[in-house]
Amino acid sequence: MKRTLFVAFIILGFGFSLYLAVAPASGKDSKLIRSRNAVPGRYIVVFKDDRSKSTETDPSAASTANVLAGEYNAMIDTIYDTAIKGFSAEMSAKDAEALSRDSRIEFVEEDSVAYVSSVTTNSDWGLDRIDQRELPLNGAFMYSETGANVNVYVIDSGIRPTHTEFGNRASVAFDALTDGQNGIDCNGHGTHVAGTIGSSTYGVAKNARLYGVRVLPCSGFGLVSSMISGVNWVTANRVNPAVVNMSIAVSGISNSLNNAINNSVASGITFIVSAGNNGNDACLYSPATASSALVVGATGNDDARAGYSNFGACVDIFAPGNNITSLSHLSDTGTRLMTGTSMAAPMVAGAAALYLEANPNASPATVANRIKLDATSGSVTNIDTVSPNKLLYTWLDGAQPPTPGSVTIIKEVVSWGGGTSSSESFTYTASNFGLPSFSLVDSDVVPADRVTNANVFLFDESNAITVTENETTGWGLTSISCTETGAEGMPNSQNSTVDLPNRKANIVVEEGESIVCTFRGEQFAPTAAPGSITGRLIDQRGTGLRGQHVTLFDANTGETRSAITNSFGFYSFGELTVSHFYVISVSNSKRYQFTPDSHSFSLDGDMFDMNFTATEHTRGS
């Protein structure tokens, strides 16, 4: 039976891409899978199922490989003895075809190449999303476990173990290449992925042990056979509890890669893989079609599936993948931003490490099911009807997130006539409150007189909230008071403070605590004596302008009064009602243009130097 199989290798995160296209070999019993972008003369050989399905290290794999190599003129470079049983080698096309017909062989695949195409961006939000059920973001990443004593293996482009964010928890475990790098990342993709899993600032599992398994060189061009070498090494050498992150995909389905992953999972390793960046059905690609792997698609900060992210029945869960900040391989302190399902997968790998810290004997199936069961349902948009509507949530297996605190700011007023409401708008500035500024109106109608943040997760004095009321003309701030109420069964302290001279409340929130701060103000009473307005009209030289008309309009009564400037440009209005709103204006003429030509204000008392300056028109010659 003829069949066509398309395979390719891709590091996602818009990271690395490997392309293979597969067509059948001629011949009745041929088991040779051909690749479109094959490396000439290189092949992956997989032994029969009865040997490959065992995940015990097979000491006879080497002898079998050597026997077959001798029979078919193959030059072996890597022997696979654990995840799959077989080898990679150089040989002629004729010998590879003949080897594929051997009864001891399951199949032979042509090896293939990869290339790099990274994307960097400039935002950071992913951790903030995965510890809460709903938007909007609350500005914090909260966690109950840290991944301590869990071992995470990053099959990628290597790692920079000396980065300060790793805190001596990262190391090189294996390098499938012989280019002298000795496992050190010279591309950047692997260090970024590892940082999302377990760096101290940007990581999900901040105390997990991280191991770089390098299978791609600096150029980004790699081989499927190297990927299998990485899976084989981890399967044989991992320390439990163990998680593998593989932010790698193939542009088709690779049986050898899928077999290696499934066998590795069967040995007790939780495997997290990225869904791919093709914007297509993930069931068309490896390793998303490795049935035992947990497959991760990517979302943006609006919970919509990213347009590039693969989707469909082979995806298990979605996680943030757009604009993710993590570590750079260029220095021990650097960071960078990347986008892709490569960035989403390590979020889930970190969550797996959190669960395994609390449940170190859990099987890979248990870990995967727990992550899927505890995911937030129904929040992902831009998906088809087959894709799971599940977004990663890191409080797994009944672990309870902290109870949020609540802060409410209320404005209460007393008008000069004794009323308890006003149409005056009072403005505020704030820090750590979620709103940098806001305004309140005590019109005796809720909620205009108050604002509440009911999801405060930044606790204690180091994260204190400050709220300051700005000055408002005609009003004084008479008191600020804060009432703190603890949640049932939770201790709380009355540790918020007020600073009336500086019009500020310093609010210290504890877990579950509800705090209400009330800013009380009174309107200044109008002065008993009437007010006055005096000023002068001058030209740009400061010379007073005689005989100019000035008009004063009382908006409260509708009365209009006029005055004419004297020889020195002065005018005045007396016997004015204080607290009324006035508009004063001057008349422009053919000779003089005033800018501005009016002012408006509430009169609090006598007002001096309400001056207007004129520009004199010049006559043309």
State pTM to two decimals: 0.68
Q: How far apart are CA 540 and CA 561, in angstroms?
A: 27
In-domain check, residue 494: yes
DSSP 491: -
Q: How far apart are CA 395 and CA 117, in angstroms?
A: 34
In-domain check, residue 399: no
Looking at the fold, whether 374 and 474 belong to one and the same domain comes out as: no
Looking at the fold, whether 506 and 542 belong to one and the same domain comes out as: no
In-domain check, residue 268: yes
Instruction: Please calculate the CA angle 143-148-152 and round it to the nearest 5 degrees.
Output: 100
Q: Are 35 and 286 in contact (CB under 8 A)?
A: no
* Of the candidates 294, 174, 290, 168, the residue with the CA atom closest to the CA atom of residue 243: 294
Looking at the fold, whether 518 and 535 belong to one and the same domain comes out as: no
Domain CATH number, residue 591: 2.60.40.10
Q: Which helix (H) or strand (E) is 344 found in, with range?
A: helix 341-358
Looking at the fold, whether 149 and 285 belong to one and the same domain comes out as: yes
Query: Does residue 295 sit in helix, strand or coil?
Result: strand
Domain count, the chain: 4
Q: pLDDT digit string (tens) for 284-340?
A: 998 999 999 999 999 999 999 999 999 999 999 999 999 999 999 999 999 999 999
In-domain check, residue 5: no
Q: Which residues are catalytic?
A: 156, 189, 342
In-domain check, residue 2: no
Q: pLDDT digit string (tens) for 4-27?
A: 333 344 444 444 334 343 333 334
Looking at the fold, whether 244 and 363 belong to one and the same domain comes out as: yes
Q: What was the pLDDT predicted at 254? A: 86
Looking at the fold, whether 415 and 373 belong to one and the same domain comes out as: no
The per-residue DSSP string of 305-325 comes to BPTTS-BSTT--EEEE-SSEE
Looking at the fold, whether 535 and 502 belong to one and the same domain comes out as: no
In-domain check, residue 621: no
**Residue 466's Cα: distance from chain center in Å?**
26
HSE-CB at 195 with a 13 A cutoff on CA atoms is: 29
Q: How confident is the model at residue 55 (pLDDT cuts 50, 70, 90)?
A: low
Looking at the fold, whether 482 and 552 belong to one and the same domain comes out as: no
Q: pLDDT digit string (tens) for 242-293?
A: 999 999 887 778 889 999 999 999 999 999 999 999 999 999 998 999 999 9
For 406, residues 6+ apart whose C-beta sits below 8 A from its C-beta are: 452, 453, 454, 455, 456, 513, 514, 515
* Of the candidates 125, 134, 170, the residue with the CA atom closest to the CA atom of residue 151: 170
In-domain check, residue 252: yes
CA distances (Å), origin 263, targets 231, 237, 295: 10, 14, 16
* Mean pLDDT, the chain, whole residue set: 88
- Helix 60-72 / helix 93-100 crossing angle, nearest 10 deg: 130
Looking at the fold, whether 22 and 62 belong to one and the same domain comes out as: yes
Which of 86, 116, 146 corresponds to the end of one domain? Answer: 116
Q: What was the pLDDT predicted at 414? A: 92
Q: Domain span at residue 585?
A: 531-616
Mean pLDDT across the stretch 565-588? 92
Looking at the fold, whether 378 and 426 belong to one and the same domain comes out as: no
Looking at the fold, whether 265 and 152 belong to one and the same domain comes out as: yes
Domain CATH number, residue 241: 3.40.50.200
Which of 87, 116, 145 corresponds to the end of one domain? Answer: 116
Name the percent of the chain lying above pLDDT 90: 66
* Of the candidates 304, 309, 21, 303, the residue with the CA atom closest to the CA atom of residue 295: 309
Looking at the fold, whether 80 and 225 belong to one and the same domain comes out as: no
Q: How far apart are CA 486 and CA 230, in angstroms?
A: 52
Q: Which helix (H) or strand (E) is 231 found in, with range?
A: helix 224-237
